[in-house]
Structure 1
Amino acid sequence: MSDSFLSLDEPPQPKAEAYRVLARKYRPQTFSELIGQDAMVTTLGNAIRRDRLAHAFLLTGVRGVGKTSTARLIAKALNCVGPDGHGGPTIDPCGVCEPCRAIAEGRHIDVIEMDAASHTGIDDIREIIEASRYSAVSARYKIYIIDEVHMLSKAAFNGLLKTLEEPPAHVKFLFATTEVNKVPVTVLSRCQRFDLRRIPAELLAAHFARVSEAEGVEAEPEALALIARAAEGSARDGLSILDQAIAHAGIEGEGVRAEAVRAMLGLSDRGAIRDLFGLLLAGDALGALASLRGQYDLGVDPQAVLRTLLETVHGVTLVKLGSVPTAGQSAEELGALERWASGLSFPALHRLWQLVLRGHDEVAKAALPIEACEMALLRVIHASQLPDPGELARQIASGAVAPAAPGAAQPAAPAMPGSMAELAAHLEANRRLQLAQQVRDYLRPVRFDGADVHFGAARSLPHDFLRDLAAALRDTTGVNWRLQLVESDAPTLREEQAANEAAERAAVLQSPLVAAALVSFPEAELIGWTTRRSMQA
């Protein structure tokens, strides 16, 4: 016999079971498995226990939050008869009785599902109205689940109104829609409405962790947090991304890694974005462009970079307001946000937001996206360092800013301060008296390297201090300064002066002449002194 034919003696090979995607495989079968909708479950449970069931329910919400799954769960809850066949409506359907199993498998004759997107006309609704007059064949209630109900035509809605208002006792309508604003008010008023909320990212990440464990796939928490954030509150979208991530991981068994998920989704590395954001705040144009090009070479979309920068500005603003940290934030990211929040004012943050948002919109429409992104970042650097209109008006009023006379010779470039004392003296010489006083009182010197200055703070600095100091130095020296606040225990100029005065006073008190005078006159007090050094000065 040819090898191309099977022997009659060989048993038939079992047919491989078709793969089911995670979004279908892990569709909730009980209300306890429905995540993020506790308020709706509580309300529905109370209605069932008190036998106060509405004749029509409208389920709204964004894609993938569980509208259709909830409708099927309600159908099971209303028609469940329990394992013994004598149960009544319950918020905890057994899942083993024939109605529960038939509804879960989509084959129950009395639970009719219809997609309004493909059945929009009055004729389709007429069939429902006619069939609703007849009692259920085997279930307690005949249930109609109409998905995307907003797609029904005006005539179809009008034809449904009378039946919705006075339906037969054995009929329940369950409507689902993502665009509730398109449903006529006359229909809304005849339904009990449940707004299904976006599922919080932390709940989604925990759900994905359980799914990964059930699938026998190792997944990094950061990877699941990235997927949860990308899902935007949709369990179905998140499970589809997780399905893709598992396939992306391959068959080597390395599991779902954050780096792979970030590459798969085209997300920019958040650490690289933090570095880029720091370069923008420091006014380092060349460094910012190099950082952007580095991410672009790795395949990151320029628009995704600006989108993540927007998220960063938003995150800094929330931290400045004292909000609770977002799920999935690392300690390093939170520390960076807190550091920026302490150094940026709300007006500066709002201006950064507008600049980056404008760049994001421009890149989306640009013929040269990476070049447009570079120009947007340069605009952020230069525009964000300009003083506020109010500050500019104060500088003009105080005479700190004045237009140059026509034909006047350009002044020579001023010397760059090379120490904290020179910095304070430079500010005083240029009539930045308040800044000079703050430098003397609060700043702890760490490093002076040209215009790159690192210093600590003896106390919490005003929110606008770094911006105002950088602007003042740029105006007086013509150079963009990079100011960075770091940890330091070095003394401030005021502390150093106080320590020197205390040491000098102690030396004066220990001198033989003063010591002898204090012995002769016990009630005498040292009020002041003059040393040879001070006289020579």
Structure 2
Amino acid sequence: MVGGMDGSGIRDGQTGGAYRVLARKYRPRSFEDLVGQEPMVRTLTNAFSTGRIAQAYMLTGVRGVGKTTTARILARGLNYAVPGKVDRPTIDMPELGIHCAEIMEGRHVDVIEMDAASNNGIDHIREIIEAVRYKPVSARYKVYILDEVHMLSGAAFNGLLKTLEEPPEHVKFIFATTEIRKVPVTVLSRCQRFDLRRIEQDRLVGLLRSITVRESVEIDDEALAMIARAAEGSARDSLSLLDQAIAHGAGRIVAEDVRGMLGLADRSRVIDLFEALMAGRIAEALALLKDQYDIGAEPGVVLQDLAAFTHLVTRIKVVPGAAEDGGMPEAERRRATEFAAALPLRVLSRAWQMLLKGIEEVQGSSRPLAAADMALIRIAHASDLPTPDEALRLLKGGATPLAPPSSAPSAPPPSSSSPAGHHPSAPRASFSSGGPSLVSSGSPMARAAEPQMAASAPQKAVPAIRFQRFEDLVAFVGQKRDLPLKLALEREVRVIRFEPGLLEFEPTEHASRTLASDLSRRITEWTGERFSVVVGRGATSETIAERQEAERLRQKSDAKADPLVAAVLARFPGAEIVDVQIRGEESAEAPIAPPPVEAGDDAAEQADD
């Protein structure tokens, strides 16, 4: 909200050799210095120019947005006077007036600042009621600034009402509060209310950059973005953090210093952690969390960053234009857009709820890392489980929701960190082919037999020959939650020939060199059968993404040709068609259908369903 550069000419720097913190040194001095409060400034400009000055103002907003500073600037504008030049209330204060310095330093006799938290009784209000009868000593108006006004007692509020509604002409009230809902409506109705906004991150970064230039401090753009993000729209918090970072970095601030100072996680590693969770790779997710913890990131902060990225992906999925946020790094925007295209909304919503629950557990736990581990395990475990509506579809289709196609166990990739024969996505319960074991699952014998049972139990695999179409293969990869591979198949593969067990394709110019080998290896791991992938040339077909984009453009073109849509577009200049959805078509968020099975009685029954 607030942050300025001594635009009025008042000096507020180091005095007498004493250091003044940045939050005070660069405190705004005029309305021009206010950042992000244009609606309030415009309203006050019109009110002052027409003489429609209210008797009371209510300033509200979160901590650090500058409510008290704005109150002082407003008091300065009410009493602004330059001998021989200006003698009326104004928000235009290009030079220092006769009362300005004393008002901004909080020592003017006619501008009385009170802390309502410590002066909240009816006796303190009686003193104000008695004092308002007397005219100001030297200024135009006697101004009362009550900070944290919501702390006044009920009797104090009631005692103030009459004076607040009909004060003497020479008295003005300015109230500030962070808890606007605790202020009685009888008081609010007698004030002009202004909600001070949080500063947008890109503007806050610009403010911090200008201050570092004035202070001759070198700082990375990434470090500035971290400070602005941690401040959550508060100028005072951002300046306090910048002050701390300058001391921490000894004049040269880099992202690693700020990350360690704030206990933050590396943003790119957080996105890697999100990808591992959505793919169900539990061991990798826990290793990424431990790496961040070892370099100083708090487990709760990592989960909060995960929740923030989940929210970002969900917003981009629902509102594609959200990806155009100028304050977002390009790599983060690109990866969030890819996740939004690949992940169903139901999966994102489930991850969001589980992260919120995990954050609460971490904050209330005596072992935050262990609590965060358990939260990540739950999320990764649920990544390949059906949502309630998917389970219902499986039940209706005659399948059991306990073993949906997407939860088929996968073979562990080679890894030096995983014990032999163990993989995080291995089945969580074991059953012999002849039925449930007669040994109690909780007995020592059962626990001793579990490794042998897991090793000897037959693994249910989906034969590669069941992929009758390339789209079936892409759907199967999506069920396995391997998002990078699924996106590569959709965007980088032009099919030349596809038949059961074989794919020949021409890669796009941006395709990975290892795409063919990666796909063949993963399909073989998942199904247990050999799947050949061959790179060729001369494809005549388009990629799935290109076909989808062409279809979207065709639908938009058809929609524009519709007379009703054309009339709407003509009625609202600048409007455009963002997307076209046809009623009756299955939602884009519906679960991916499993690959078709071989012809037979089961296929006929599924077709009937």
Range class of TM-score, shorter chain: 0.7 to 0.9
- SS of the counterpart of 1:58? strand
- SS of the counterpart of 1:98? coil
Residue 453 of structure 1 deviates from its aligned partner by 6.2
Map 1:266-305 → 2, pairs under 5 A: 266-305=263-302
Matched residue type, 1:324 = A
8 Å CA contact 2:462, 2:527 repeated in 1:
no
Q: How far, CA to CA, are the matches of 2:476 and 2:307 in structure 1?
A: 32
Deviation sequence 1:238-263 (CA, Å, 0-9, x none): 1111111111111xx4x222221111
Residue 245 (structure 1) aligns with: 245
8 Å CA contact 1:149, 1:176 repeated in 2:
yes
Residue 412 of structure 1 deviates from its aligned partner by 3.8
- SS of the counterpart of 1:107? coil
1:102–1:380 Cα change, 3 Å: same
1:258–1:35 Cα change, 3 Å: same
- Which structure has the greater CA radius of gyration? 1
Residue 367 (structure 1) aligns with: 366
Deviation sequence 1:263-291 (CA, Å, 0-9, x none): 11111111111111111122212111111
1:127–1:385 Cα change, 3 Å: same
Residue 50 (structure 1) aligns with: 50
- SS of the counterpart of 1:323? helix
Deviates more, 1:297-306 or 1:51-60: 297-306
Residue 321 (structure 2) aligns with: 323
Residue 31 of structure 1 deviates from its aligned partner by 0.2
Q: How far, CA to CA, are the matches of 2:278 and 2:260 in structure 1?
A: 27
8 Å CA contact 1:111, 1:142 repeated in 2:
yes
1:83–1:200 Cα change, 3 Å: farther
Q: How far, CA to CA, are the matches of 2:401 and 2:104 in structure 1?
A: 78
Residue 348 of structure 1 deviates from its aligned partner by 1.0
Residue 456 (structure 1) aligns with: 488
Q: How far, CA to CA, are the matches of 2:197 and 2:191 in structure 1?
A: 18
1:390–1:444 Cα change, 3 Å: closer
Residue 207 of structure 1 deviates from its aligned partner by 0.8
Deviates more, 1:36-45 or 1:179-188: 179-188
Deviation sequence 1:205-239 (CA, Å, 0-9, x none): 11111111111112222211111111111111111
Deviation sequence 1:435-482 (CA, Å, 0-9, x none): x55136x6999xxxx9x9677335699xxxxxxxxxxxxxx999699x
Q: How far, CA to CA, are the matches of 2:490 and 2:230 in structure 1?
A: 41
Map 1:83-482 → 2, pairs under 5 A: 84=84, 86-250=86-250, 253=251, 255-321=252-318, 322-325=320-323, 326-401=325-400, 409=434, 412-413=458-459, 423=464, 425-427=465-467, 436=469, 438-439=471-472, 456-458=488-490
8 Å CA contact 1:121, 1:152 repeated in 2:
yes
Q: How far, CA to CA, are the matches of 1:390 and 1:412 in structure 2?
A: 29
Deviation sequence 1:20-78 (CA, Å, 0-9, x none): 11111111001010011000000011000000000111111111111111111111111
Residue 409 (structure 2) aligns with: none
Deviation sequence 1:376-400 (CA, Å, 0-9, x none): 1111111121112222232233334
- SS of the counterpart of 2:163? helix
8 Å CA contact 1:65, 1:196 repeated in 2:
yes
Q: How far, CA to CA, are the matches of 1:99 and 1:271 in structure 2?
A: 52
RMSD: 3.3
Residue 175 of structure 1 deviates from its aligned partner by 0.7
Q: How far, CA to CA, are the matches of 2:190 and 2:50 in structure 1?
A: 20
Q: How far, CA to CA, are the matches of 1:132 and 1:41 in structure 2?
A: 27
1:439–1:83 Cα change, 3 Å: farther
Matched residue type, 2:100 = C
Gaps of 5+ in 2: 1-13, 404-430, 436-456, 494-522, 529-534, 544-609
Q: How far, CA to CA, are the matches of 1:169 and 1:81 in structure 2?
A: 18
Deviates more, 1:37-46 or 1:362-371: 362-371
8 Å CA contact 2:82, 2:98 repeated in 1:
no
Matched residue type, 1:148 = E
8 Å CA contact 1:458, 1:492 repeated in 2:
no
Identical-pair percentage: 51
1:491–1:300 Cα change, 3 Å: farther
Matched residue type, 1:380 = I
8 Å CA contact 1:132, 1:171 repeated in 2:
yes
8 Å CA contact 2:117, 2:148 repeated in 1:
yes
1:408–1:288 Cα change, 3 Å: closer
Q: How far, CA to CA, are the matches of 1:350 and 1:193 in structure 2?
A: 36
8 Å CA contact 1:415, 1:477 repeated in 2:
no
- SS of the counterpart of 1:136? coil
1:184–1:397 Cα change, 3 Å: closer
Q: How far, CA to CA, are the matches of 1:479 and 1:27 in structure 2?
A: 61
- SS of the counterpart of 2:144? strand
1:138–1:407 Cα change, 3 Å: closer
Deviates more, 1:271-280 or 1:320-329: 320-329
1:408–1:491 Cα change, 3 Å: farther
1:458–1:308 Cα change, 3 Å: closer
Deviation sequence 1:176-230 (CA, Å, 0-9, x none): 1111111111111111111111111111111111111111112222211111111
- SS of the counterpart of 1:93? coil
Task: Give the count of matched residue pairs.
Answer: 441
Q: How far, CA to CA, are the matches of 2:288 and 2:179 in structure 1?
A: 41
- SS of the counterpart of 1:176? strand
Q: How far, CA to CA, are the matches of 1:109 and 1:341 in structure 2?
A: 59
- SS of the counterpart of 2:112? strand
8 Å CA contact 2:264, 2:296 repeated in 1:
no
Matched residue type, 1:291 = L
8 Å CA contact 2:208, 2:239 repeated in 1:
yes
